[in-house]
């Protein structure tokens, strides 16, 4: 058993109201980044905010001052095109300066359009070739078992990428190796670049499929901090098999003209659209 250490989040107690405020600010950063870059993926970045904020602020053991700490929990963003939500969260936590967010996708920037550990060593995996992240996460979870370590591995997947065959090979292997130190999450916003998931390749009955592969399955509202955090905590108690959290989300969450609109999967807002979106997000603070 590795030496005990408090995570970033265990040293601070945050209320759900505070977490909601962090999520709102992360969404504003996402819009600003994408507008400045002129390209990127707002839909799936905005839908995953509560999931990523919950992990890094409340669940995972990690330390921005020691990003290479061997016993840290691992996070694999399999849907690598949604990296703006990860960058915005990590910057707020102090992994790199927040002003660097405005260099997203620019020539020479460390913040590439998909996560690159060569540029940012504290990222766990280069992702974006969809369908591969779960396999990478399984390797990390296996390594933890073999080294008799205590780190937990989390893998955030897009719903569209679960149409890939490799996902289901990985789905078979994780229970075989009894990887109870692995939690996967599907950001089930029901949209992908070519349309709604039910139009491209229907995933339903998605929960039954993962149960049939011998995963513990939890189905939640992916925008409800209380339910998201409770699911992550329950996953840590499951023994002898991995956990799949199916998080029902809204593509483009938080910006009314982006919500559930497939066109915003991979289109950056214009300057005018960004100003409108940011004002809407600022107004949500006043309402809340």
Q: CA triplet 225, 4, 238: central angle to 5 degrees?
A: 50
Longest CA span, the chain: 53
In this prediction the pTM is 0.95
Over the stretch 105-163, which tens digit does the pLDDT of each residue have? 999 999 999 999 999 999 999 998 899 999 999 999 999 999 988 899 999 999 999 99
Dist CA 211 CA 81 (whole Å): 27
The SS3 of residue 101 is helix
Cis peptide before 205 (omega within 30 of 0): yes
Place of tokens 């905590």: 233
Over the stretch 162-183, which tens digit does the pLDDT of each residue have? 999 999 999 999 999 999 999 9
Tell me what pLDDT residue 285 has: 82
Over the stretch 10-34, which tens digit does the pLDDT of each residue have? 445 799 999 999 999 999 999 999 9
Dist CA 122 CA 66 (whole Å): 9
Q: Which domains are assigned to the chain?
A: 16-287 (3.40.50.970)
Beta bridge partners of 192: 195
Tell me what pLDDT residue 7 has: 55
Q: How confident is the model at residue 2 (pLDDT cuts 50, 70, 90)?
A: very low
pLDDT at 79 over 50: yes
Q: Which residues of 172-199 are buried (b: 16+ CB within 10 A; e: fewer)?
A: ebbbeeebbbbbbbbbbbbbbeeebbee
pLDDT at 3 over 50: no
């Amino acid at each position: 058993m590795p030496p005990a250490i408090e995570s970033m989040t265990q040293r601070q107690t945050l209320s759900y109201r505070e977490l909601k405020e962090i999520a709102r600010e992360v969404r504003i950063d996402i819009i600003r980044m994408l507008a400045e870059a002129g390209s990127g993926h707002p839909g799936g970045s905005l839908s995953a905010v509560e999931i990523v904020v919950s992990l890094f602020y409340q669940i995972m053991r990690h330390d921005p001052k020691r990003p290479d700490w061997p016993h840290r929990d691992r996070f694999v963003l399999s849907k690598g095109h949604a990296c703006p939500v990860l960058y915005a969260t990590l910057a707020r936590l102090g992994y790199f300066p927040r002003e660097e967010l405005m260099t997203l996708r620019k020539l020479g920037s460390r913040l590439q359009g998909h996560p690159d550990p060569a540029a940012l060593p504290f990222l766990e995996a280069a992702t974006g070739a969809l369908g591969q992240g779960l396999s990478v996460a399984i390797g990390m979870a296996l390594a933890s078992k073999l080294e008799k370590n205590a780190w937990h591995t989390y893998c955030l997947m897009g719903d569209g990428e679960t149409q890939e065959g490799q996902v289901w090979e990985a789905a078979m292997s994780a229970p075989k190796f009894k990887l109870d130190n692995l939690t996967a999450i599907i950001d089930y916003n029901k949209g992908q670049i070519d349309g709604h998931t039910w139009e491209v390749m229907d995933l339903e009955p998605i929960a039954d499929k993962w149960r049939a592969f011998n995963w513990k399955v939890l189905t939640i509202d992916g925008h409800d901090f209380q339910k998201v955090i409770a699911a992550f905590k329950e996953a840590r108690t499951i023994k002898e098999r991995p956990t799949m959290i199916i998080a029902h989300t809204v593509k483009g969450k938080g910006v009314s003209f982006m919500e559930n609109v497939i066109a915003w999967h991979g289109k950056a807002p214009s300057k005018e659209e960004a100003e409108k979106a940011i004002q809407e997000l600022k107004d949500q603070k006043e309402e809340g």
